[in-house]
Every structure is written in C-alpha cells, then in structure tokens.
Structure 1
C-alpha cells in the first residue's frame, strides 16, 4: 500500500477504471467524428480535382455545386463544433471534473 503512495498521482489516476472509461468515451466520440469530417473534406477535394464537370454544374444563377460543397464545409465545421460542445458539457466535462477532484485528493494524500 505504501508503494501506491510513492507513485505519481497522475500515474495512479490514469490507472483507474474511471479514467480509462473517460478516455474510452472520448475516443468513441472524437475518432468517428474526425473520420466523418475528413471523409467529407476529402470527398470535396477529390470531387474538385477529379470531377470538375460535376463541381461546375450551375444550380441557380452563378451558384454551382462546388460553391455549395465549399460552403457546406463551413456548415459542417460549425455543426461538429456545436455537437462536440454539447456532448462535452453533458458527458465529458462532469466526469473529467470528478477525476480532477479525485486527482487533487490523491495528490494531497501523498
């Protein structure tokens, strides 16, 4: 038991089930969201490079498919940011704060 007290509190916290759960939840949210965004972004880039005819199709007036896809990149970025902020406030931050308090207690118990 005394050996546990000599281990850095950061290391002890990383070894807890709660920390592992938090890290797992974070990865399960962030990795798929990142994969989605990168796929969407590269679809836009590849379409611009390999399908210029499609990207230049006029939708209305001087607005073409490429411009709409480009603007949707911004919309997607803001949507992902909004979704992440809501998820973090609801799921991630409360657990992280609880772990932070636990870390403080572990550090004080040294």
Structure 2
C-alpha cells in the first residue's frame, strides 16, 4: 500500500509529485508581486535575489527596522492596541461571568422589558463600535503620517 502524503495547502499541491500531477491552474512557484523587494519589478531599488542591489535593499530595510522612527510607530500601535484589547476582553469576560454567576442580578428589570443582561449585551455592541472608532482616530492622528513619512524615506533610500 502506498504511503499517504499530506496536502500542502499553501502551495496547492502534494509534496514530492512532479509538476504535471499538480492541480491545474496553480503555478509551481508563486510569482512575486511587481515592486515587491526581490521581485526585480518596477519599483526602483528592487532586484532579484543574488543581484547586486538585493543586499543594499536588505540593509535599508534592516536600518529602517532598527530606527527610532519605526520603534516610535510600533510603540504607538502597541500602546493603544494592547490596553484596548485587554479592556475589551475583560469587559466581555465580566459579562460572561455575571451571566453564569449572578443570574438573578442579570434578570433584574430596569425599564419595561429591558433587564441588566440586555443592557450589558447592548453595551458590548456599543463598546465594539467605540473601540473601532477610537482605533481609527488613533491611527489617523498618531501613526499614519509617521508611517507614510518612513515609507517615503525608505523609498528614497532605495533609489
């Protein structure tokens, strides 16, 4: 009996099979996007791997990654996302624990058919939209411009 092979989902093929037995329409090697580093594409400063400009581009990207501007952008992102995620997960878990641990409290009527459980559940939706708006505003006012300037600087270095 033949040994069963696993399917490589990313490549869309069975490993070790000749190219004629691969799925039709799936390229044997993913083509790089035009302008991507190392694609030899239309973007200035890019070159195929092994070409003289490839190591220069790698040095530029490594220099950008270790720069203070890049660190500032990453700190700004983490400084918003981590506390916001923890606050939202805490709020959500509080709702779940309250449902399980204090059902009498959650059934308490507030106004007409509206009880504490409904109020907290609607608060989950409101907090989701509020966090989305706050994230977009934070990105727009604190990180987007700095990231765009860093990108322009990187592209200038690659030319």
Scaled by the length of structure 2, the TM-score of the pair is 0.62
More helix by share: 1
- Is 1:18 matched with 2:63? no
**Partner in structure 1 of residue 142 of structure 2:** 91
Shift of 1:6: 6.0
1:52 to 86, 103, 117: 103
Instruction: Kindly report the root-mean-square deviation, in angstroms, between the aligned alpha carbons of the 2 structures.
Output: 1.5
Higher RCO (C-alpha 8 Å, min separation 6): 1
Shift of 1:9: 3.0
Unaligned residue ranges in structure 1 (runs of 5+) = none
The separation in 2 between residues aligned to 1:10 and 1:18, in whole angstroms, is: 13
Give the secondary-structure state (helix, strand or coil) at the position aligned to 1:59.
strand
- Is 1:69 matched with 2:120? yes
Superimposed CA distance per residue, residues 23-72 of structure 1 (whole angstroms, 9 cap, x where no aligned partner): 11111111111111111111011111111111111111111100000000
The separation in 2 between residues aligned to 1:54 and 1:104, in whole angstroms, is: 59
**Partner in structure 1 of residue 37 of structure 2:** none
Give the secondary-structure state (helix, strand or coil) at the position aligned to 2:110.
strand
The separation in 2 between residues aligned to 1:70 and 1:57, in whole angstroms, is: 14
Scaled by the length of structure 1, the TM-score of the pair is 0.87
Shift of 1:101: 0.7
